[in-house]
Chain A
Amino acid sequence: MPDCSCRQFRAVAIGVSTGGVSALKFLLGRLPADFELPLLVVTHISPDSDDGLAVLLDTLCAIRVKEADEQEAITHGTAYLAPANYHMLVERGGTLAFSIDPPVNFARPSVDVLFESAADVYGAALIGVILTGAGFDGSKGLLKIKNSGGLAIVQDPADAEMDSMPKSALGLLTADHVVPLKELPNLLMRLARRKPCR
């Protein structure tokens, strides 16, 4: 689908692994409190982590950052982090759900699981973002987002702390935007502000 200037988005889904903490600090830290979209984030954390990362990011960021809760209604201006040892999915009614299905791409939470379920619900109104990370989780999910009409953004591998996740995604699909991390906050703000045609 062409990147028409009047497209309106409903959510941003972000996948990140190695190097994720500093990437998220930078990205979420530069979004305004009234950011128009919700952000759904999977970062590969160890199974015994608590909600410490969400709590830390919340104190550093203007937007609200929290560990996702079961059946929580998704609202704009908030970043939801998938809890450790659970997959995070989006339900039709715009709520969050979890599963303990086996790890996907050796990961639980897995970026693919989030992206695929979000693409089913938001279709063309979804922005998918792959940031720094080792491995290849998120590539298939980002392809599904593109195939559902959504927008694919990949961090420039040359700019990423670990380039394999971005490289893997770019090997599978043509991204709409390949950008260094420092340009990402402005890009997302620009995309989030778009109003419908007419």
Chain B
Amino acid sequence: MTSAELIDIEIKLLMEGVYQVYGYDFREYADASLRRRLIQWLSGSGFATLSLAQSEVLRDPVLFDTLLRGITVNVSEMFRDPAFFKTVRVQVVPHLKTYPFLKIWHAGCSTGEEAYSMAILLLEEGLKGRFRIYATDINEDVIRKARKGIYPLQEIKRFTKNYQHSGGTGSFSDYYTARYDHAILNPSLQENIVFAAHNLAVDSDFGEMNLILCRNVMIYFKQPLKERVLGLFDSSLVLGGFICLGTKESLDHRLIANRYEEIKPRTQIYRKRYARL
């Protein structure tokens, strides 16, 4: 047996234990990224192998918490993939404007960059006071960071460039205050966002959403978990509502695919059909 195969067995055993003890289910996470993150956590943990770590992880919630953070930290940036936000602005917002009030679920919001981006976009499109973004993540640590809305100043240059390419109609500098080496987003942006912990692998749906944003989250999931999550989205979305996926994701070959139509090829923005086919 190769050491890679041995490590895969250790991961499987550890994830089974974690599920049974703590209820977090990573058994349907894609192998390669999970392995990479676990090995990275292991290298800073002081344990020689995952088997040695397992005994402690299953008994020590504080240690488990470090592992949980290590394997669920997603990263993002404001207006990541500017072309996507431009498409939302030009093609999706006109539909959203027809509703008196909008509910948006941002699943897997990480440290909040894209949730704030969406809030900025909707405010610029004149929807002030008419929307709420429910931004959720499995990792409570990133949710706490998201609520603060504080980002390293060195990121702001890229965020600004993204914002400009996304069709922003204002000046990005109006949305933050620079302090020392950090930028603090305007607290008023938070009025429209509710940050909360939610686990896509085990928790239930959210009702009556008009738009669901879940970009580059399911790339970490195996097929059955992807299907579960898409089912969750489908049951949370109104007819005529939108699902937005990441640049390299698609609904092709998924169970819910025939109830959706991509608004334009290669946008990865899907609209739920009003009538059953």
Contacts and interface: CB of A to CB of B under 8 A. Distances in A.
A148 B8 contact: no
B249 A70 contact: yes
Interface in B22-45: 30-33, 35-37
Interface stretch (A87-95, A131-139, A153-161): A87-95
Nearest to A118: B32
Contact of A148 (B4, B74, B246): B4
Interface residues of A, number: 25
A102 interface: yes
Interface string A73-100: 0000000000101100111100001111
B117 to A, nearest CB: 15
Interface in B1-25: 2, 4, 7-8
B90 interface: no
A85 to B, nearest CB: 8
Nearest to A113: B36
Contacts of A48: 82, 165
Contacts of A91: 30-32
A92 B75 contact: no
B75 A100 contact: yes
A164 interface: no
A99 B34 CA distance: 10
B248 A89 contact: no
A97 B216 CA distance: 11
Contacts of A70: 219, 248-250
Contacts of B246: 100
Given A70-B249, A148-B4, A117 B36 contact: yes
Given A70-B248, A70-B249, A83-B247, A97 B33 contact: yes
A89 B75 contact: no
A90 B32 CA distance: 6
Contacts of B32: 89-92, 97, 99, 117, 120-121
A116 interface: yes
A18 B75 CA distance: 26
B223 interface: yes
B248 A101 contact: no
Contact of A98 (B8, B36, B80, B219): B219
Interface of A: 48, 69-71, 83, 85-86, 89-92, 97-102, 113, 116-117, 119-121, 123, 148
Q: Report, nearest first, the 4 A-B pairs whose CB atoms are least far apart.
A: A89-B32, A120-B4, A117-B32, A99-B33
22 contacts: A70-B219, A70-B249, A86-B247, A89-B32, A90-B32, A91-B30, A92-B8, A92-B32, A97-B33, A98-B216, A99-B219, A99-B220, A100-B74, A100-B216, A100-B246, A101-B36, A116-B36, A117-B35, A119-B4, A120-B7, A120-B35, A148-B2
